[in-house]
Amino acid sequence: MMKQQVTLAVVTTTAATVLAVVALLKQYWKAKQDQQWGKCQRIMRKFARECATPVPKLWQVANAMVSDMGASLSSSDEAETSLNMVVSYVNPLPTGIHKKGMYYGVTMRQTSFLMVCGWLAGKFEPICDLRVENVSIPPNVMVGTSEELHDFIASEIAKFVSAHPEHQDETPESPENDKKLGFTLSSAEDRSTAISGSAIKLKNFSADATEMVTGLNQALEKHGSKLRVHALVADIVGHLAGGRYYDKDCVAAITLGSGTNAAYIDTAQSAPRWNDSLPKKGEIVIGMEWGNFNSCHLPITQYDSSLDVASSNPGSQIFEKLISEMYLGEIVRRVLVRMAQEAALFGKTVPPKLLIPFLLRSPDMAAMHQDTSEDREVVHEKLKEVFGITKSTVMAREIVAELCDIVTERGARLAGAGTVAIVKKLGRIANRRSVVIMEGELYEDYRIFRNYLHSGVWEMLGNELSDNIVVEQSRGGSGTEPLFLAASPNPDS
């Protein structure tokens, strides 16, 4: 009997010890999880503070951009500016009041070119009978001579026009204008061009693009085409021409896609650097190349700095690295890596795919950001799909969604500050209606980004002035921008 009592006591004591150990382990793991969660929260709060864009900060950025715009346009070679703005000789731009007819255009891309034609009915009416054809450029032509490239493009244009001729009942108002071929370079989207002054370099081609206008026109004449190229400009200028066609108060166009750029309409007197080549009065179109804007007022974090150092162009395109589609997801990924390394956000080991740069694309980021399900199921699916993270806590998913919000809000509001800067440079904020058109997947497809941009502009201007800047989506449609350039009167007409 005594032996059974001793045995029972030992068993009871052992069980109690095991329960106590289990309880201690639970407390330990809970404390550790709380510590890790706290670490994640501290990293995120610090990141949010550094990314903050209150209205005074936005005005600092806008005013710095206005200053850089003025310096870039000045005649002084000593003026310090991060912008290298250029005049595009496409004036005057079309208006939808009287432009009517069949127009043709071409957009050069990295390894192809897009040909378009359509009927502009005038009176601000949309494009009718739009036809689009994408032509791949053979490898031997890409590495061939300028003449071979020009001849290939001209021959394809001639075939395209033959397949889509002008309407027989057309009554053109100006035969000279109807011979104009709009020609744009997809610099913002494809990174295929670099524009500096009047010199244009096509990075993927051996052809000398500075002689492209003359070469193309000679080739077009050889193939029996009446079309002629008057200027090669970045596609953002074509979007601005489209904006002006649909609304006479349109003063600027902004691209927010994988890259970013802006163009706006100014006066000839505002650009003394080009005094010798510009008319004494009238409007001019200026391409900003605003992706390279930089200022001490930009809210740059350690993650932005590390991204910049690791990029192929460190120290350049700083504004673009804060607001464009190409970089938003990468900033989120870099913060997540730190949380995974220092606070075990996704478990004891860092998911290998989380360490791959630029794996998180903005569309996936937008899907996670806009997930409204109770347990953030879309975030869970995207983490699994993109990074191979099969197990994630609800708290971890909330952190991911919050990071997406922080990065998106900063980028959108900075883009809004740039928008206000352009209108301020023109002196139109206080008393004139100004339309700024936006194009690109980031603005068109990312609803929260778009909302943050609009609210940033509204907050900067307040109730009294907010109606003076109208931000709206481009109405021309993808690929149509050269058509509006074709509809622009010739500068000397």
Over the stretch 41-81, which tens digit does the pLDDT of each residue have?
A: 999 999 999 999 999 999 999 999 999 999 998 867 667 88
Please state whether beta strands 180-185 and 101-108 pair in parallel, antiparallel, or not at all (unpaired).
Answer: parallel
% helix, strand, coil for the chain, step of 5: 55, 15, 30
If pLDDT is split at 50, 70 and 90, which confidence band does 200 have?
very low
How far apart, in whole angstroms, are the C-alpha atoms of residue 119 and residue 99? Answer: 10
pLDDT band at 25 (very low <50, low <70, confident <90, very high): low
Amino acid at 86: V
Whether 431 shows a pLDDT value over 60: the answer reads yes
Q: Which two tokens stand for residue 26?
A: 């639970």
Dihedral sign from CA coordinates of 34, 35, 36, 37: positive
More confident residue, 397 or 2: 397
Q: What is the pTM of this model?
A: 0.86
d(CA 148, CA 40): 58
Task: Report the range of poorest mean pLDDT among 93-102, 135-144, 414-423, 456-465.
Answer: 93-102
* Per-residue tokens: 491: 């500068």
Find residue 135's DSSP bridge partners.
Answer: 113
Closest CA to 268 of 92, 35, 484: 92
- 445 and 480 in contact (C-beta within 8 Å)? no
List, in order, residues 6 or more apart from 481 with CB less than 8 Å away.
105, 107, 182, 184, 235, 237, 238, 239, 241, 242
DSSP code for 269:
G
Residue 35 pLDDT exceeds 80? no
Choice among 74-78, 199-203, 328-332 with the minimum mean pLDDT = 199-203
pLDDT tens by residue, 161-172: 998 887 655 544
Most confident of 27-31, 329-333, 474-478: 329-333
What is the DSSP secondary-structure string of 192-243?
-EEEETTEEEETT-SS-GGGHHHHHHHHHHHTT---EE---EEHHHHHHHHH
Average pLDDT (121-142) is 84
289: phi > 0 → left, psi -120 to 50 → alpha, else beta; which? left
Vertex 131, ends 127 and 134: CA angle to 5°? 130
Q: Check: CB of residue 111 under 8 Å from CB of residue 123.
A: no
Residue 246: pLDDT over 50:
yes
How many whole angstroms separate alpha carbon 68 and alpha carbon 84?
Answer: 9
